[in-house]
Amino acid sequence: MDTIQFVDQTIRDAQQSLWGNMMRTEHIVPIAETMDTVGYRAVATVGSQAFTVAVRNLGEDPWERIRLLSGLMPVTPLRGSYQTASLSSFDLSTPRDIISLWIKRSVANGIRSFWICDYQENMERFRYFAHIAKAEGAEIVTSLMYTSSPLHTDEHWVAKTRIIADSKDCIDRIMISDESGIITPERTRELVSLVQRNCEGMPLEFHGHCNSGLAPLCYLAAIQAGVTTVHTAVAPLANGTSLPATETVLKNMRRLGYESDLDEDALAKVSAHFRQIAEREGLPTGRPMEYDLFHFEHQVPGGMVTNFTRQLREIKMEHRLDEILEEAMRVRREYGYPVMATPYSQIVGVQAFENVVSGERYKHVTDESIKYLLGYYGEPAYPLDADLMDRVMSLPRTKELLDWKPEGYLKSVEELRQELGPDLSDDDLLLKVLIPGRPAKAKGGPAGAAGVSGAAGGGGAQAAEAAPPTGAAPDLAAAGAGAAAAAAARCFTVEVDGEVFNVKVSPADGGECGAMSVDGHAVALGGGAGEAAPSRAVREAPEGAIQAGAPGLVLSVPVRVGDSVAEGDEVALMEIMKMRRYIVSSRQGVVKEVWAQEGQMLEADDVLLVVG
């Protein structure tokens, strides 16, 4: 029988699914050397999307995490990721040379393998970046992203596989990925067989989520059909909306006669380590999911459901979650049944959210939806709804986007460096570009504090222009400074009515009072008799207030005090659920006050500005 290899997703997709990307570097460093002895084919670590959480919520330098882990795990390749159109959001605006620099700096910091989130809609662009990664010595694993609809036939998957096979000169492996967890064991066998017959011998990997409870069975079906590498996580971070447990897949496949070179003693130590962290800090562990037919219909990934729940609670509409999921089914059908994975699941899900919350379908159409319908995200696989297209094409915003091109797409790295900070290192420049509204460095702060070290001199990312040599011991004394800073600020997970909130409590310097943040929003702790007061002033919304409407990040406020605005004029741009949303004035008048500023995180009822 074949020997089955494992890609570990514990510190990447598993913690993203169950812990909301809130796993800290200090959680991983003590067990990293043991992880290196388990015998994984690769260990996946967070890519560009999760860098935002690391910087904004955890106060960490995500590049430093990669450098530390590559030094502690010299044998096992670290696997990173990138998208070919955008790194940190879904508006297709990342300059080409920034994506190229991301690939090069990832490899320099210790990444040896890349998973590419791709849908074969622009293979010229895919090949451009894949050749850069290959030239840097990295392995390329592209994805075949599974979905189910009346239109996704065997012929569709054969065509997709052949497109990939045509670029096998820059692709090493194919990962069949079921992000929504909706594939069945029978369909797994059929799909693997179809791909095998058309991939010209490229090795196959299988990556599936447990949302429907079927993934452990699908893994065995994939192995029996010929897949030789599977993606799993240690038991405490498996199941739920995560991936199957390594321990369970290993046990079951051995019953079927398959072998593995994993060191089960080392694996048990890794599993025990993360279970202890979960128990100590109150973090959730995965539990098998109940079979829910509704999930097969809406196919919205588990993490998005959590985001919907949180945002609906902010506007006192959490009882409408099922309504939004039903609307997502309808939007997806009208959009030609896109795969419910990044970025399409966000485009569909946020538009469904808008349709329900606004009280009228397509009253507000996101820029990302318009760009998708215009084909900027690639030609939709199936015809779009004709009535919807008539409505969208009549919108003034659509006319503005007909000839849209990414602003600054061909700008060079040096042009961007001059604009954003001539003294920024490559690593800090990438963070500055990818995380709007967040400074690349907190001056005077300790390593691992609220900013990112090394932006302007002094031992940060610039001092590490290359990763530690293979086999070299990392500087754990230096790492200890970051770990100590992180340890001083303790993070907890609090579950309220089934929803998980990430709470960070930090001691104050030399005083009894401290600071607390909930999901990245600061809350000051008062010193009197345990009283607590919010750090942002609680101000009653005055007449004429224009509010955010949903939690998010302020990207720009183009109006100033004294400006005249008409009803429907755009007065702010926010990033909400990773989508850019224009906030329009609900009245005509003159801007009397501007309360919000670029880079500020707002709640749904926070005031952006006042029009009188």
* Over residues 28-50, mean pLDDT: 94
Give domain status of residue 157, yes or no: yes
Give domain status of residue 581, yes or no: yes
H or E segment at 208?
strand 204-208
pLDDT in tens, 544-588: 999 988 888 898 899 999 999 999 898 998 887 767 788 989 999
What local confidence, expressed as pLDDT, does residue 53 receive? 84
* Over residues 304-333, mean pLDDT: 86
Helices (H), 302-453: 302-314, 321-334, 344-357, 367-373, 386-393, 396-401, 413-420, 426-434
Give domain status of residue 394, yes or no: yes
Contact 84, 99 (CB under 8 A): yes
Lowest mean pLDDT among 125-139, 241-255, 391-405, 577-591: 577-591
Instruction: Name the DSSP letter for residue 185.
Output: H
What local confidence, expressed as pLDDT, does residue 439 receive? 45
Statement: residue 320 has pLDDT above 80: yes
Give yes or no: residues 341 and 233 share one domain: no
Please name every residue paired with 609 in a beta bridge, in sequence order, or none if there are none. Answer: 546, 594
Lowest mean pLDDT among 172-181, 346-355, 570-579: 570-579
Instruction: Using alpha carbons, list the distances in angstroms from residue 532 to 230, 522, 523.
Output: 48, 12, 8
Q: Provide the residue range defining the domain that includes 153.
A: 5-281
Split at pLDDT 50, 70, 90, the class of 449 is very low
Query: Would strands 552-556 and 570-576 be described as parallel, antiparallel, or unpaired?
Result: antiparallel
H or E segment at 125?
helix 123-135
Q: For the whole model, what pTM was predicted?
A: 0.81
Give yes or no: residues 500 and 565 share one domain: no
Statement: residue 536 has pLDDT above 90: no
- Map residue 19 onto helix, strand or coil: helix
pLDDT in tens, 497-525: 444 455 555 554 444 445 555 544 444 44
Split at pLDDT 50, 70, 90, the class of 407 is confident
Calculate ∠ Cα 519-455-444, nearest 5°.
Answer: 70
Give domain status of residue 601, yes or no: yes
Give domain status of residue 439, yes or no: no
Give yes or no: residues 141 and 230 share one domain: yes
**Is residue 477 exposed (0-12), middle (13-18) or buried (19+ Cβ within 10 Å)?**
exposed
The rounded mean pLDDT for the chain is: 84
Split at pLDDT 50, 70, 90, the class of 459 is very low
What local confidence, expressed as pLDDT, does residue 466 receive? 36
Q: How many CB atoms lie within 10 A of CB 383?
A: 10
Give domain status of residue 50, yes or no: yes
Instruction: Name the DSSP letter for residue 11.
Output: I
What residues contact residue 495 under an 8 Å CB cut-off, 6+ apart?
282, 284, 501
Give domain status of residue 435, yes or no: no
What local confidence, expressed as pLDDT, does residue 605 receive? 86
Statement: residue 390 has pLDDT above 50: yes
Give yes or no: residues 558 and 518 share one domain: no
Give domain status of residue 314, yes or no: yes
Pick the residue with more confidence: 17 or 437?
Answer: 17
Structural domain count of the chain: 4
CATH of the domain at 59: 3.20.20.70
